[in-house]
Amino acid sequence: MTVIFSKKCEYGLQAVLYMAAKEPGCVCPSDEIAEKLQIPKEFVSKILQSLTESGIVDSKKGKSGGFLLAKTPSKIRLIDIVTAIDGLDLFNSCVLGFPNCSPDQPCPVHDKWGELRTKAYNMLTDETIDKFKEKTLSKISKI
């Protein structure tokens, strides 16, 4: 169940983590990523194009083409991927969708959500994808 991110963002995070778990410079065809992560191929291609435009992923054309990370995994923060796909609105808007929700006019969960939102933002900002190689490989092997 998606709680915070769009399905597109979830898949984007998974695809980047998958590429980071491969050998540096490894070119991954979108078919391979889609198959390994069980994501529709067309969706993977669109997501990776978005990440290419943001400078997180590079693409290589041709018979042995595909996608690869544009930066070393230690330089890619989780928040970079979230920003490229979903943007940062979820960290600035009311979780219940109330207009004009603010500290002066809070919604019923404003204070609790604010704490969670701040923790989530800080975790995504602090963590780089290089820290997740082993966990990613373990998770993919169980898909």
| Domain annotation covers residue 14 | yes
Whole-number pLDDT of residue 88:
93
Task: For residue 103, give the amino acid letter.
Answer: P
| Domain annotation covers residue 111 | yes
Domain count, the chain: 1
| Domain annotation covers residue 98 | yes
* Position 2 pLDDT exceeds 80: no
| Domain annotation covers residue 87 | yes
Question: Taking the CB of residue 38, how many other CB atoms lie within 10 A of it?
Answer: 9
* Position 143 pLDDT exceeds 90: no
pTM of the model: 0.89
For residue 38, the enclosing domain spans 7-136
Task: For residue 25, give the amino acid letter.
Answer: G
Nearest to 32 by CA among 41, 43, 20: 41
Residues 39-49: pLDDT tens digits? 999 899 999 99
| Domain annotation covers residue 2 | no
Using an 8 Å Cβ cutoff, are 18 and 66 in contact?
A: no
| Domain annotation covers residue 1 | no
At residue 4, φ and ψ (nearest 5 deg) are: -115, -45
Question: Taking the CB of residue 33, how many other CB atoms lie within 10 A of it?
Answer: 23
* Position 1 pLDDT exceeds 50: no
Question: Across the chain, what does the average pLDDT equal?
Answer: 92
CATH number for the domain that contains residue 104: 1.10.10.10
